[in-house]
Amino acid sequence: MSYNGALKTTGVVALPPWRSSLLFLVLLLGLCALVGRAVYLQGIHNDFLQQKGDARYGRTVDIVAHRGMITDRYGEPLAISTPVESVWASSQQDEAATPEQVRQLAQALGMDARDVKNRLFDDSRDFVYLKRQIPPEQAEKVVRLEVPGVSLHREYRRYYPGADMTAQLLGFTDVDDNGQEGIELALQELLSGKAGSERVIKDRRGHIVEDVASIRAPKPGSDLALSLDSKMQYLAFREIKLAVEQHHAKAGSIVVLDAKSGEVLALANWPSYNPNNRDKPATKMLRNRAVTDLFEPGSTIKPFTVATALEAGKFTPDSVINTENGVFTVGGRKIHDTHPYASLTVAQVIQHSSNVGAAKMGLSLSPETFGSSLSEAGFGTATGSAFPGEASGKLRDYHKWMPIEQANMSFGNGMSVNLLQLARAYTVFANGGELKPVSFLRQDAPGVGKRVFSETTAREVRDMLELVVQPGGTAPQAQIKGYRVAGKTGTAHKVEGGRYVDRYVASFVGMAPASNPRLIVAVMVDEPTGEYYGGLIAAPSFSNVMGSALRLLNVPNDAPLGNVMMPPAGDDAKEET
């Protein structure tokens, strides 16, 4: 049978030998093309695949910077950042958490299961926090659950060892460790540092399996040393809290200054709050009342009236003033003294806190002289402390003063101050007439002061202020065993709706040792119940804080240990403003 016949019989078509060779060649070329493409993409031009891989598994993770520590002047910590964990999740896609895992996760976090589920399966975001800043033991429970896409992120939480004792001064930070109030806000830029970042690769469960590269290293915040003395802060806080509670007052504040440098050694308010508790307190609790709240200073202004009159040569400490038996009429308005006297020397005007005597001295001055003197002493302007929300006080333009306004200004009515401002003003009497700048930061050297009065005038007024705490003065309860004290009481009506009401602010500002002042303490109690005179309400707190602080600093005595002399029973220390 022929070849062709055989093919017809079997039905098989014979192919030319060259076609198999051609097919092999095509397959070989295709394989070479694939190999070449792979080499090109993975070895030469791998940007495309790298981008796709990064999009699926690569992430840029922020590295939180450690916030700087705040300490007192001796290095005692006042605010520190401790490491905590935050729980976050990537969107559930390829391998979703089971309902049981969602329930267990919600239980571990103390959250509602529905809320956790909504966050886990939220396709609108690739990243979501489930709970921020949880305790280590709670974080350990979350890790053990091994929920897909759920991871921990290291953060820092602020802790304040002093709690409510330093609350309004230091302020607090939010959940992102950014300052919100007080020193934390004022010095945010220095404390916060700069966050870093790094590239990481995560598996399909969302767990980090490799650190690829550090893009930017975090820069820690700077540590800051405040001028505060923690021991004095405790003393001040304890006493102002006691005074407010004892006299059923609305609030109170206290400031302790280094008389030589102007540094704030203590500043406390009551009521207060605990900044370690993340539940935000009432707004009225947040205010640093010693810096933000204004009040009429009352008789604590009289030393400045007297100093201005002495400086102008209108009076001497022994000049006698007709005090009109306690009633003086100016522009149809009557000015009263609590204790009427026919006449008083200038020194006695301070000792007995005579409004009539102060008004006559103030009216003897030109408005320009008196107004400029008060302004030079820091009234009507901010202290320069840079504390957030500081009030500058109010001092009317002397060009617009009426005679009755000038008379009222002489004993502290018609103007307003904050307590820090008032304490600072008294540095002129502690430093030979120089007004010192105030600072919340520790200073290596005393700041440069500004001369307001002559050394002679400042010394003469300080001598008068010593009479205030002696029997016959308005603040015998301000005396301190073993130390000479100089200071002034203040009792002022509060103003509401432009009118004086029967509510009061009691205050006392003083310095010790009077022979060479080392500290200035200012106390203010807002709306005490019952008695409201500064000599009865604020002076005892001054004495307790100043006496303890002087002994804490080992300041030598400048008076015999038996120097305290109280007036006869029933002879209350009172003054009228």
Q: Which of 192, 299, 373, 548 is catalytic?
A: 299
pLDDT of residue 500: 87
- Look at the domain 60-225 and name its fold: Penicillin-binding protein 2a (Domain 2) (3.90.1310)
User: What DSSP line would sit under 503-532, residue for residue?
Assistant: EEEEEEEEEESTTS--EEEEEEEES-SS--
Q: What DSSP state is assigned to residue 222?
A: P
Over residues 336-348, the pLDDT tens digits come to 998 899 999 999 9
pLDDT above 80 for 369: yes
Coil/strand/helix, residue 369:
helix
d(CA 219, CA 190): 11
Phi, psi of 428 (to 5 degrees): -65, -30
pLDDT of residue 143: 81
What does the pLDDT average to over 542-554?
A: 98
Q: Which two tokens stand for residue 446?
A: 């005393």
What does the pLDDT average to over 123-145?
A: 80
Candidates 341, 566, 536; CA nearest to 470 is 566
Q: Which two tokens stand for residue 326?
A: 């306690």
What does the pLDDT average to over 475-491?
A: 97
Give the DSSP H/E element, type plus range, for residue 78: strand 77-90
What residue type is assigned to position 465 of the chain? L
Quick count: other Cβ atoms within 10 Å of Cβ 314?
Answer: 14
CB-CB contact of 453 with 433 (8 Å): yes
Instruction: Please state the length of the chain.
Output: 577
pLDDT of residue 462: 98
pLDDT of residue 102: 83
pLDDT of residue 7: 45
Predicted TM-score of the model (pTM): 0.84
Structural Rg of the chain based on CA atoms: 38
CB-CB contact of 537 with 251 (8 Å): no
Class of residue 12 by CB neighbours under 10 A (exposed 0-12, middle 13-18, buried 19+): exposed
Give residue for tokens 């921020």. Answer: 132
CB-CB contact of 512 with 257 (8 Å): no
Q: What DSSP state is assigned to residue 556?
A: P
Going from N- to C-terminal start, the domains of the chain cover 60-225, 230-274+286-552
Q: Which residue has the higher pLDDT, 314 or 567?
A: 314
CATH class as words, domain 230-274+286-552: alpha beta
Over residues 248-297, the pLDDT tens digits come to 999 999 999 999 999 999 999 999 999 998 777 777 889 999 999 999 99
Q: Mark 323-336 as b/e (b = at least 16 C-beta within 10 Å).
A: bbebebebeeeebe
CB-CB contact of 449 with 431 (8 Å): yes
What does the pLDDT average to over 305-317?
A: 96
What is each CA distance from 552 to 71, 230, 231, 232, 525, in whole angstroms?
Answer: 19, 11, 8, 8, 25
pLDDT of residue 117: 80
CB-CB contact of 121 with 97 (8 Å): no
pLDDT above 50 for 94: no
Q: Which residue has the higher pLDDT, 489 or 12?
A: 489
d(CA 104, CA 64): 29
Question: Which stretch of 418-422, 442-446, 490-494, 531-535 has the lowest confidence by average pLDDT?
Answer: 442-446
CA dihedral (398, 400, 405, 407) positive or negative: positive
Residue 63, CA atoms < 13 Å, CB-side half-sphere: 15
Give residue for tokens 């690569």. Answer: 58
CB-CB contact of 255 with 264 (8 Å): yes
In the residue annotation, 299 being an active-site residue is answered as yes
pLDDT of residue 572: 57
Give residue for tokens 């690739």. Answer: 126
Q: Which two tokens stand for residue 67?
A: 């916030």
